[in-house]
Structure 1
Amino acid sequence: MKVLHIVTLHTPTHDFGGPTRVALNLCRGLRAKGEQAALVALGDNFPAGRLPRSVDGVPARLFQARHVLPRFEVSGITSPALLAAAPRMLRSADVVHVHLMRDLITLPVAMLAARLGRPLVLQTHGMIDPTRNRVAQAVDVLGLRRVLKEADAVLHLTPQERELTEAVVAPDPMGPAYRLVNGVAPQPMREPGGAGRPPTVLYCARVQEGKRPQDFVGAIPTVLDKHPDARFVLAGPDTGALADDMLALARSLGVGHALEYIGALDRTGVIARLRAADVYVLPSIKDAFSVSVLEALSVGLPVVVTRTSGLAPDVAAAGAGRLVDSAPDDPRNGARIGRAVLELLDPGAGAAASRAAWRLARESFTLDAVVDTLREIYGAVCGRVSAGPSRPTPPRAP
């Protein structure tokens, strides 16, 4: 089976984050099971404009990004060359898997795939929900609602995401819905922190407002009161141009000496940092199903996440970390996170959460199991498409 994964953007520093990482993970998993999976995306910020032909071992067809609407950031980039090549690429695929957002690449490609009658799978990553933004509403009318209704499968991470996506097309029905969680490759259990080593607290995600790095920095004073030698590492691409502000915030709090910003990391670097840390913190208030949290769990690293994140119920049920209450611009966010970190720095509590985190990733979120589910979805989609328009719609996933 030949599968094309269409995602908006890939850069050397993984600026687009989750959707591209999920697409690459799924492609690798599919290829390991004998399928022909490849990535199609825009490429940007590569040295001398030399776009790679593979990414992390996955064959890739990258097209140079053109910033036609800079004020819309990633939603305002496109490539006439990609759109011109799309009909030929789509006709050659058995399944077209689009990681959909309101943009100038994934949406037009999804619309074209539907028009060509190609088996179409949409994955929204929590990015498609009702909006009051007039530009986004216009995009919905011009094509998003139609493609959601015409898709052969619409994948959701959580029941809440499915409900929000369905609300975009209501009162019309959306295409058949299936739940597909994110998955990560199993990893060996990390070694617990040794005596004499300062405790290390890690943030490893895009440095932008939506991820709330300021709440990570705000936790530092609370932790240093009990562990004055603790180190805080801020890692990830500075897509929000906030890294300098975070360092300045730490200095203003009198804890600048405890915070280090190390920039973007490749996959190997991410895993190495996770293995070397004692607690992982992601303060994002709205995060559908964070791959970075899954990667932390996969090495047995306890996590601190907000109650509103998609993985919060799983973390709580397994005892794999701590949940915190959080709200935008609430000055208490940092102290709450700090107290949760302190709980996990207790040797007994930390060891228990570490074992629970590793088990949770192994039992519920392995990439191998996710890919098996995805292949079943592909099979159902291809079967319905070949059966013609009179095929019955299968029951929706819970």
Structure 2
Amino acid sequence: MKALHIVTLHTPTHDFGGPTRVALNLCRGLRARGDQAALVALGDGFPADRRLPRTVDGVPARLFQARHLLPRFEVSGITSAALLAAAPRMLRSADVVHVHLMRDLVTLPVALLASALGRPLVLQTHGMIDPTEKRVARAVDVLGLRRVLRKADAVLHLTEQERQLTEAVVAPEPMGPAYRLVNGVAPQPARGTRRVPGRPPTVLYCARVQEGKRPQDFVGAMPTVLEKYPEARFVLAGPDTGALADEMLARARSLGVGHALEYVGALDHPGVLARLRESEVYVLPSIKDAFSVSVLEALSVGLPVVVTRTSGLAPDVAAAGAGRVVDSAPDDPENGPRVGRAVLELLDAAAGAAASRAAWQLARESFTLDAVVGTLREVYGQVRERAGAHARPAPTPR
């Protein structure tokens, strides 16, 4: 089986984060099962004097140079005429077209084209498609998004809430068949739970540095933690897609804790895993995160996490005891102290060790990539079976 995964953007620093990482993980998992799986995306941020890479993290890739057609819309405003011109040939060669869909000038046109060509079409929305009052987004919905959601052979959702929100975009008309597919990560050896003598406790944020991820609440937690653990260190990691890193460093200085915060920039995947293993607590205070891959990767090495109640993983973390779940609301000055108190609980040696064991076990039992890929292949099988049943019979030779 040949599966083609279409995602908007890949950069050397993984600026687009989750959707691209999920697509790469699924491609690797499919290839490990003997399937052909490849990535198609825009490439940006690579040296101008070099060809775009033909593989990404071991996955065959067709990358096309990004053109910033509508700069004010950032990722949603980039495209490539070369990609769109090559799309029909690539789509016809695939047994399944898997589009990581958003309101943009790459994934939406390709999904519409795949539907028009009658290719088996799977859409995965990553929590990015929901009802909106923005005029441009509503126009996109009318021009194509609703149509492709209705015509899709499968629409994947992470949570029941995501399914309901995506269905609301096309209501009152029905959406294509819905299937739940969680994110998964490769199993990892458990990190040690005993702190290295002489090494201060480390609290890690490792995600895009942008408003929606609430790095300001990570920084806002620092005074609460440092009051009890003055030697603690806080590491802010991830691409600065919201141009907020300097602001976060300045915020820490204004709180009198600038000495304890380090911004290390974007990390490659081995670098992410190394930082996770070196930390005592992982914090992602995002108030809207459907199913964070970075949280899953923290769990996979046995690193306790602090997440907000609106995170798609919050119920699993709470039920397993794999960390702490906190309340959060936009612009609430208590967000930071709440996060700080949750971190303090996990820095307790006994509580931290118990949460670490629970985190590792949760990832192993519920979120392994192999299990997710097994579910995805079942979806692909059903999609292809239905597509075969609906295909027109070949004309009888005369």
TM-score w.r.t. length of structure 1: 0.97
Q: What residue is the counterpart of 2:180 in the other structure?
A: 179
Of 29-38 and 185-194, the range deviating more from structure 2 = 185-194
Determine which of 310, 313, 330 is the counterpart of 1:311: 313
Cα distance in 1 for residues equivalent to 2:61 and 2:391:
32
SS of the counterpart of 2:9?
strand
2:187 paired with 1:155: no
Cα distance in 1 for residues equivalent to 2:52 and 2:29:
23
Cα distance in 1 for residues equivalent to 2:198 and 2:258:
22
Q: What residue is the counterpart of 1:34 in the other structure?
A: 34
SS of the counterpart of 2:247?
helix
Q: Unpaired runs of 5+ in structure 1?
A: 391-398
Amino acid at match of 2:112: M
Q: What residue is the counterpart of 1:228 in the other structure?
A: 230
Determine which of 356, 370, 373 is the counterpart of 1:371: 373
Please report how far the alpha carbon of residue 50 of structure 1 lies from its aligned counterpart in structure 2 after TM superposition: 2.6
Q: What residue is the counterpart of 1:290 in the other structure?
A: 292
SS of the counterpart of 1:128?
coil
Q: What residue is the counterpart of 2:336 in the other structure?
A: 334
2:59 paired with 1:63: no
2:360 paired with 1:358: yes
SS of the counterpart of 2:282?
strand
Cα distance in 2 for residues equivalent to 1:151 and 1:318:
35
SS of the counterpart of 1:160?
helix
Please report how far the alpha carbon of residue 194 of structure 1 lies from its aligned counterpart in structure 2 after TM superposition: 2.4
Q: What residue is the counterpart of 1:15 in the other structure?
A: 15
Cα distance in 2 for residues equivalent to 1:149 and 1:386:
19
Amino acid at match of 2:62: R
Q: What residue is the counterpart of 2:24 in the other structure?
A: 24
**How many residues of Structure 1 are paired with residues of Structure 2 in the alignment?**
390
Please report how far the alpha carbon of residue 195 of structure 1 lies from its aligned counterpart in structure 2 after TM superposition: 3.1
CA deviation profile, 1:17-63 (whole Å, cap 9, x unmatched): 00000000000000000000000000000012531000000000000
Amino acid at match of 1:196: G
Q: What residue is the counterpart of 2:247 in the other structure?
A: 245
Q: What is the CA RMSD across the aligned residues, in angstroms?
A: 0.8
CA deviation profile, 1:107-158 (whole Å, cap 9, x unmatched): 0000000000000000000000000001000000000000000000000000
Cα distance in 1 for residues equivalent to 2:140 and 2:246:
35
Cα distance in 2 for residues equivalent to 1:322 and 1:195:
25
Q: Unpaired runs of 5+ in structure 2?
A: 393-398
Sequence identity, in percent?
A: 86
Determine which of 265, 276, 279 is the counterpart of 1:277: 279
Cα distance in 1 for residues equivalent to 2:376 and 2:189:
25
Cα distance in 1 for residues equivalent to 2:44 and 2:72:
17
Aligned runs of 1:104-119 on 2, under 5 Å?
104-119=105-120
Q: What residue is the counterpart of 1:102 in the other structure?
A: 103
2:268 paired with 1:266: yes
SS of the counterpart of 2:143?
helix
TM-score w.r.t. length of structure 2: 0.97
Amino acid at match of 2:389: A
Q: What residue is the counterpart of 1:90 in the other structure?
A: 91
Q: What residue is the counterpart of 1:396 in the other structure?
A: none
SS of the counterpart of 1:114?
helix
Cα distance in 2 for residues equivalent to 1:92 and 1:28:
19
SS of the counterpart of 1:326?
coil
Cα distance in 2 for residues equivalent to 1:177 and 1:331:
39
Q: What residue is the counterpart of 2:44 in the other structure?
A: 44
Please report how far the alpha carbon of residue 389 of structure 1 lies from its aligned counterpart in structure 2 after TM superposition: 7.2
